[in-house]
Chain A
Amino acid sequence: MKQVVQIFKKEFYAYFLSPIAYIVISIFLMVTGWFFFSTFFIYDLTSMRNYFSMMPIIFSFVAPAVTMRLFSEELNVGSYELLLTMPVSIRQVVLGKFLAGTIFMIVMLLPTISYPVTISFLGELDWGPVLGGYIGAFFLAGSYCAVGLFASSLTRNQIIAFIIGLAICFGLTMLSKILFFMPETLLGFLGYLGVDMHFANISKGIIDTRDLLYFVSVIFIGLYATHLSIEERC
């Protein structure tokens, strides 16, 4: 556990040592803020629903950008040789890096808490779905970070890592949107595989263990695949 914390600390601080953190956070806030508030007054609703419905698609760009360097850079510089010959297991390394990426994304979401606070002054705001939205966003960030981390462990090139991560996350996001092309028998199964249904449930404020189980499974599969891919290099 101590080692996980050390690796987490190192990776988390590394975001703020380079300009990546500031660039990603400001782009995220600008893009989501603009998309949300440009239609907010037209709808004339005191709700954050539209805001959270953007999250899957925005996160599928942001999460791979956040996680792309976590392993790729180590592979490129060769520093994973030093890392893996210290008394740490691959599991601890993967977990530390995963936490760094996920918590970075949570930090990125923190300034948006000012939105519901502002909105609550404008009218009656139902806080349930807002809380649900943040919980959903937390699980979503974790899932996409696990996928991005896996993409990063595949290659020493950060740009390729980003594109692979984006492709998988985007696929998970869009799966439920292209369901009408699919044969009827597969609908239920593919609908369950997509992120949308589960995220929509949580962000309505309905916290169902099936949806949580889905996100936890994605995180677990992503991290396990990362573990295998790093182990394979040894």
Chain B
Amino acid sequence: MIHVENLTKYYHDFCAVDNFNLDVHKGEVLGMLGPNGAGKTTFLRMLTGFLKPTEGTIKVKEFSVASDALSIKKLMGYLPESAPLYKDMLAYDYLQYVAGIRGIGNDKIPSRIRYLSDLCGLSSMMHKPIGELSKGYKQRVGLAHAMMDDPEILVLDEPTSGLDPNQIVEIRDIIRQIGKEKTVILSTHILSEAEATCDRVVIIHKGKIAADDRTENLKAAGGQKNHLRLSILDADPEAVRKLLGNVEGVQQIEMTDQTEKMLSLKLSCESGTDIRRSVYLAVKETDWILTELTMETQTLESIFRQITLEN
């Protein structure tokens, strides 16, 4: 669907995007992750035809950005970071204007706007000037703008920034809904968001693609160790350390919290092994009371930190 080759962008002599090679398939929800200034926005801007690449090519379907930008723009809906909209216009007027530019027939515009305003939860705000809307509602107007023409590819630059937790969940639902049929590319620096919504994650660091894989593969590659978290009541720390130290597979014991009665620990073990059974059996022999026993698998966070803190 989208084919990016040797894509490079320089701002004067600063290299914002360095030699990207990427293929995005139809129906994929792709998350671009990276610290601030990694080049996510620059990449998305080139993809949408807003910025011209210094070098390299982007092809969407059979169209090339360099020669056929208009056809690509027709296929794409784009929500820039912080949704820069005209402040004086009413939300309804704005969407009507967008619909006009996108060439939606006059008879279909009202029903399309009604559909989008319901989808994005905007109905009560349609007759307010955009400048008076809160950030979350502006973001929704931007989202409605992006989805106006029912585009095949949806490009969202930090779609949930500035939204409250309920709205974030709603927007993620919308994205997942759309992602079933459409191709979605979104950038974010919220890792849990990428985990929750994306099939595939690309981690960008200093303008380079540092990792590119399916979300679950990335998580698996994240670290060599698994952690086991447990809390025990009525136990003596020294005795616990001694007992659990002898359990097979435990590599390291770390006391994370200790109150008069309760003891919280974190056990490290090799990945692929499950020591829950042996730990439980060991504790069962004593008269301690086990209140928590959780296996922690790696999240994207560890691999993200690993990659982006390297140098």
What is the interface of chain A, defined by CB distance below 8 A to chain B?
2-3, 6-7, 9-10, 14, 17-18, 77-79, 81-82, 84-89, 234
CA A17 – CA B90 in complex, angstroms? 10
Cβ of A81 and Cβ of B70 under 8 Å apart? no
Known: A234-B51, A234-B52. A82 touches B84 (CB 8 A): yes
**Contact A87–B70 (Cβ < 8 Å):** yes
Q: For the complex, what is the distance from the CA of A234 to the CA of B50, rounded to whole Å? A: 6
Contact flag A7-B101 (CB < 8 Å), given A77-B87, A82-B145: yes
Q: Given A10-B97, A81-B80, A234-B52, are A86 and B102 also a contact pair (CB < 8 Å)?
A: yes
B73 at the interface (CB under 8 A from A): yes
| Nearest A-chain residue to B131, judged by Cβ | A77
Interface size class of B (residues with CB under 8 A): 20 to 34
Query: Are the CB atoms of A85 and B97 closer together than 8 Å?
Result: no
Expressed in whole angstroms, the Cα–Cα distance for A3 and B97 within the complex equals 10
Complex CA gap A78/B78 in Å reads 14
Residues of B contacting A14 in the complex (Cβ-Cβ under 8 angstroms): 86, 88-89
Check if B110 is an interface residue, CB within 8 A of chain A: no
A88 to B98, CA, bound (A): 11
What residue in chain A is nearest B94 (Cβ atoms)?
Answer: A10
A19→B142 CA distance, assembly (Å) = 26
> In the complex the two chains form, what is the Cα distance from A14 to B51 in whole Å?
27
The answer to whether B76 has its CB under 8 Å from any CB of chain A is: yes
List B residues 67-94 near A (Cβ within 8 Å): 70, 73-74, 76, 78, 80, 82, 84-89
- Knowing A87-B73, A89-B70, A234-B50, the reply to whether A78 touches B84 (Cβ < 8 A) is yes
Asked if B26 is an interface residue, CB under 8 A from chain A, the answer is: no
Q: Does B48 have its Cβ within 8 Å of any Cβ on chain A?
A: yes
Known: A234-B50, A234-B52. A86 touches B98 (CB 8 A): yes
Shortest A141–chain B CB gap in Å is 24
**Would you give the shortest CB distance from A203 to chain B, in whole angstroms?**
36
Q: Is B49 an interface residue (CB 8 A)?
A: yes
Whose C-beta in chain A lies nearest to the C-beta of B142? A82
Q: In the complex the two chains form, what is the Cα distance from A17 to B100 in whole Å? A: 19
Q: Which of B116-175 contact A (CB under 8 A)?
A: 142, 145
Whether B37 sits at the interface, judged by CB under 8 Å, is: no
* 0/1 interface trace, chain B 29-65, chain A, CB 8 Å (1 if under): 0000000000000000100111110000000000000
Contact A85 B73 (CB under 8 A): yes
- List the A side residues contacting B48 at CB < 8 Å: 85
CB distance from A168 to the nearest CB of B (A): 27
Output the residue of A9, A82, A89 with the most chain B CB within 10 A: A82
User: What residues on B are CB-neighbors of A84 within 8 Å?
Assistant: 49-50
CB distance from B141 to the nearest CB of A (A): 10
Are A77 and B86 within 8 A (Cβ)? yes
Query: Are A78 and B80 neighbours in the complex by a CB distance under 8 Å?
Result: yes
Of the A-B pairs whose beta carbons lie under 8 Å apart in the complex, a sample of 28, sorted by A's number, is: A2-B103, A3-B103, A6-B97, A6-B100, A6-B101, A7-B101, A9-B97, A9-B100, A10-B97, A14-B89, A17-B89, A77-B84, A77-B85, A81-B45, A82-B78, A84-B50, A85-B49, A85-B76, A85-B78, A86-B73, A86-B101, A86-B102, A87-B70, A87-B73, A87-B101, A87-B103, A88-B73, A88-B101
Question: A198 CA to B234 CA in the complex, in Å?
Answer: 100
CA distance A86 to B155 in the complex (A): 12
A87 pairs with B80, CB closer than 8 A: no
- A79–B101 contact, CB under 8 A? no
- Give bound CA distance, A87 to B48, whole Å: 10
Chain B min CB distance to A36 (Å):
34
5 additional contacts, CB 8 Å, given A77-B86, A88-B73? A2-B100, A2-B103, A10-B97, A81-B45, A87-B73
A residues near B88, Cβ cutoff 8 Å: 14, 17-18
- Shortest Cβ distance from B245 into chain A, in angstroms? 59
